[in-house]
Chain A
Amino acid sequence: MNKIVYLVPLFPLIGFLINGLGRKSLSKSLIGIIGSATVLASFIVSLVLFFDVKAHGASIVDYFNFINVDSLKVSFAFQIDALSSLFLLIITGVGFLIHVYSTAYMIDEEPQHYGRYFAYLNLFIFSMLLLVMGANYVIMFIGWEGVGLCSYLLIGFWFKNDNFNYAAKKAFVMNRIGDLGFLLALFWLIQKLGTANYADVFAHASSLSSFDVTAITILLFVGAMGKSAQIPLYTWLPDAMAGPTPVSALIHAATMVTAGIYMIARSNVLYSMSEVTMNLVAIIGLATALFSATIALKQNDIKKVLAYSTVSQLGYMFLGLGVGAYTGAVFHVMTHAFFKALLFLAAGSVIHAMHHEQDIRKMGGLKKHLPITHITFLLGCIAISGIPPFSGFFSKDEILAAAFAKNPIYWGLGVAGAAMTAFYMFRLYATTFLGTFRGTHDQEHHLHESPAAMTIPLIILALLSVIGGFVGVPEILGGHHELRSFLSPVITTEVEHHIEHSTEYLLMGISVAVAAIAIIFAINKFSKKPELAEATGFGKVLSNKWYVDELYDTVFVRTTLAKGKFLKNIIEKNIIDGAVNGVGKLVNYSSRQLRLIQSGLVSGYILFMVLAIIVVVLIWVNDGYIYKFFSTLF
C-alpha cells in the first residue's frame, strides 16, 4: 500500500500544472474535468489508504532527504495513520464536491481565469495534503505556508478589485504572524530533541522540561491561532470572504482553517503534558466561540454570517482540544466540514441566483424559487444548531460533555454560544428564504435554481450533514463511537471523563432545548418582519464587529507604517546618512578652512617654518622630556 501514497498529492499537483500551463489553450469544460478528476483520483487513493490503515495500521513512507545538515535530518516523508487518513478523506472528498460545484459557479469567468482558478484550487489541495500527510513538522510547515499562499491567491482571485487584494494581503500577513510562532516552536523542538519527526518527538517528549513543553505548545498554538482564526488573529477570516464562494467553502470553512486543530490533535502528546497550555487553548477557544457568535448576530452579509459562524465553530473545536477531547474536536472538524461547506455552497447558490447580491436584507422568500438550495440550507442550519440526530449534535455534544467534566462554567458558556449559533443561523435562514422577496423586480425575474453541477454537491453534503454524526455515537446513546476507537492509535492522551449517565442526559437535554428555543424564536422573529434598519446602540457595536479591525488598524498597522515613515524620512535621511555625509562635509569644511593658511604671503610661510623649528628644538633641548610626555599619551 505504501507504494501509492505519493499519488495522493501527485494528482492535484498534475492538475495544477496542466491547468496552470494550459489555461489559455484548454477549453473550460476540459479545465473543469481535469481539476475535478485529479481530486477525485486523490479521493479514491485516499479511500484505499483509509481502509488500509483501518486494517493494518499506520505507516511512514520516506522519500528523500529534504534537509540533512549535521545532526539535523529532515526527510521528505509521509505518514499515513488514522488521523491523516481521516483528514485525507475530508480534504479530497469535500474538495472534490467543491471542485464540481465550482465548474458551474465560475462558468462566467474568461477561460484563462477559469483555468487559473482551478490551478489555484488544485494547488491548494496539494498543499493541504502535504500539511496532513507530512511525517514531521517541517513538511507540515511546508503545507502550512502553502495553504496560506493559496488562500492569498484565491482571496485575491478577482485582482482588479483592490479591496479584495487588501483582504488577501491581510490574510497572508496575519497567517505569517502565526507562522512565526510555529517556526519558533519548530526550532525549539529541533534544539531540544534534534528532530522534527512526529514519531521521535512524541517518543522523547518526556525528556522535555515542563517549561520547554509549555513554550513549544504555546508557540504552536500561536501558529494555530493564525491559521484557524482564533482571537486575536481572527479578523482576516471574515475579510477572506472576498474570494469566490466555493473558495470560502473549501478553504475558509472546511479544510484550511481546521489545520490548527489537526496540528494540535497531532501533537496531543505534547499538549497533554502542559496544563497551562491546555487551559489557554480552552479559554481562547471559548472566548473566540462566544465573541464571534455575538458578531454574527448582527451581520447582514450572508457570507459574513457564515464566516463568523466558522470562527465560532473553530472556537468550539479549540475548546474541545483544550479540555482534552481531541477526538471530539476532530469529530467536529469532520461534521463541520460537511455542514459548513454545505452552508457556504448553498449561500453560493443563493448569491449565484441573486446575481452577486450578498445582502440578506435584499433577499427573502427564496424558498419557492430555489427549492433544493432551500432544503439543503435548512438541513445545514439544523446540523450546525446541534439538533439530534443531525451530525452537529453528536460532535458538539461530545465537546460540551468534556467541557462540563473539566469545568461546568465552560459548559454553561458553551451552551450559551450554541444558543447564539442556532439563533443567528435561523435568523439567516428566515431572512433569506422565508417571508417575501425584497430585491428588485429584475432580480426576482431572473431567480432560478442552480444547475445540477451545483445542486448535486449540495445534496451529497446535505446527506453527509445529516448522517455524518453516526460514526461517533457515544455509548450512552447506544453507540460505540467508532471514530474514537479508529483514532486511538494517534490520539493517545484523550482525557477520559466520567459523568453520571443521568447528568449526561440532562446536559444533552438542556443544550438541545436551548437550541430549539433559539430556533423557534429566530424563525418567529425574522420570517415575518426581518431586521432591515441599520442597527443602533449595542447592536451597532456588534454589527461593526466590536471595532476590532479599527483597533488593530490604529494600534498595529498605522504605528508600523508610521515607524517606517519615521525611519525612512528622519533616521535614515538625517541621522545615518547624515552621519556619513557629515564626515564628508567635515573633510570639506576643514580643507576649506586650512586653505586659508596658504595665504601666499612669503613671510607667513616663513613664520610657520620658524615656529616649527622652535618647537622641534624645544622638544630636543628638553632632553627628550617633551617627547616622553607625548609618547605616554599614545
Chain B
Amino acid sequence: MPIQYYIILSLALFCIGIVGVLVRRNVIIVFMCVELMLNAVNLLLVAFSKMHHGIAVVNDKATTVGTDAQLFVFFIMVVAAAEVSVGLAIIVMMYRNTHSVDVNFLNRLKN
C-alpha cells in the first residue's frame, strides 16, 4: 500500500484528536483525544519505519535501517500508559473535589 494512505489516515486521526481536545469540555473525552493523537503519531512512525526498512532490505538482507522508529513507538506507548494512570488519577481527584469533569471549571490559575 502506498505510504500516502497511512499518512492521510494518521493525519485524519490526529486532526480528530486535536478538534476533540479543542472543542470538548469533558475531561475524559479530552483525554481520549490526546490518546488518539498519540496513536496517530504511532501509526505514522510504524508506517515510515516499514517503508524505510523495505527499501533498505533490497540492498542488504541483514540491515536494521528503519527499525528504530518502532522502538520509539514502544516508548510512546509506555509513556502514554504511565500518563494515563497519572492523568486518570488526577481526573478522579478532580471529580472528588468538584463533582465535575469539565475542563473549564478549574480556571483559577488565570490572571
* A interface, CB within 8 angstroms of B: 595, 598-603, 606-607, 610
Contact = CB atoms under 8 A, between A and B. Distances in A.
Nearest to B103: A602
A595 to B, nearest CB: 6
Contacts of B108: 600
Contact of B21 (A599, A600, A603): A603
B62 interface: no
Interface in B16-51: 18, 21-23, 25, 30
B109 interface: yes
Interface of B: 18, 21-23, 25, 30, 103-104, 107-111
Contact of A602 (B18, B104, B111): B104
Contacts of A610: 18, 22
A601 B104 contact: yes
A600 B18 CA distance: 18
B110 A600 contact: yes
B21 A606 contact: yes
12 contacts: A595-B111, A598-B110, A599-B107, A600-B107, A600-B108, A601-B103, A601-B104, A601-B107, A606-B21, A606-B22, A610-B18, A610-B22
B18 to A, nearest CB: 6
Contacts of A598: 110-111
Closest 6 CB pairs of A and B: A600-B107, A600-B110, A602-B103, A603-B22, A598-B110, A606-B21
Contact of B104 (A595, A600, A606, A607): A600
A603 B23 contact: yes
A426 to B, nearest CB: 93
A603 B18 CA distance: 10
A600 B22 contact: no
Contact of A599 (B22, B25, B110): B110
Nearest to B30: A602
Contacts of B25: 603
Nearest to B25: A603
B73 to A, nearest CB: 21
A260 B60 CA distance: 111
Contacts of B109: 600
A144 to B, nearest CB: 70
B21 to A, nearest CB: 5
Nearest to B106: A600
Nearest to A598: B110
B103 A603 contact: yes
B33 to A, nearest CB: 10
A603 B20 CA distance: 10
A596 to B, nearest CB: 9
A598 B103 CA distance: 15
A602 B111 CA distance: 14
A600 B103 CA distance: 10
B83 to A, nearest CB: 16
Contacts of B110: 598-600
A149 B23 CA distance: 85
A141 to B, nearest CB: 68
A598 B109 CA distance: 9
A603 to B, nearest CB: 5
A491 B12 CA distance: 109
Contacts of A607: 22
A613 to B, nearest CB: 10
A601 B111 CA distance: 12
B100 to A, nearest CB: 14
B31 to A, nearest CB: 11
A465 to B, nearest CB: 93
Interface centre among B30, B107, B110 (most CB of A within 10 A): B110
A224 to B, nearest CB: 74
Contacts of A602: 30, 103-104
Nearest to B27: A602
Nearest to B110: A600
Contacts of A595: 111
Nearest to A597: B110
Given A600-B109, A603-B21, A603-B103, 5 more contacts: A600-B104, A600-B111, A601-B103, A603-B23, A610-B18
A601 B25 CA distance: 10
A226 B21 CA distance: 87
Nearest to B107: A600
B49 to A, nearest CB: 21
A426 B40 CA distance: 120
A606 to B, nearest CB: 5
Nearest to B18: A610
Contacts of A606: 18, 21-22
Contacts of A599: 107, 110
Nearest to B109: A600
B61 to A, nearest CB: 35
Nearest to A613: B18
A136 B21 CA distance: 91
Contacts of A601: 103-104, 107
A601 B109 CA distance: 10
B108 to A, nearest CB: 7
A423 to B, nearest CB: 90
Interface centre among A599, A600, A610 (most CB of B within 10 A): A600
Contacts of A600: 104, 107-111
Nearest to B23: A603
Contacts of B18: 606, 610
Contacts of B21: 603, 606
A241 B88 CA distance: 99
Contacts of B23: 603
B35 to A, nearest CB: 15
A598 B108 CA distance: 11
B52 to A, nearest CB: 20
A327 B108 CA distance: 97
Nearest to A599: B110
B66 to A, nearest CB: 22
Nearest to B34: A606
A471 B23 CA distance: 115
Contacts of B22: 603, 606-607, 610
A304 B104 CA distance: 91
B51 to A, nearest CB: 20
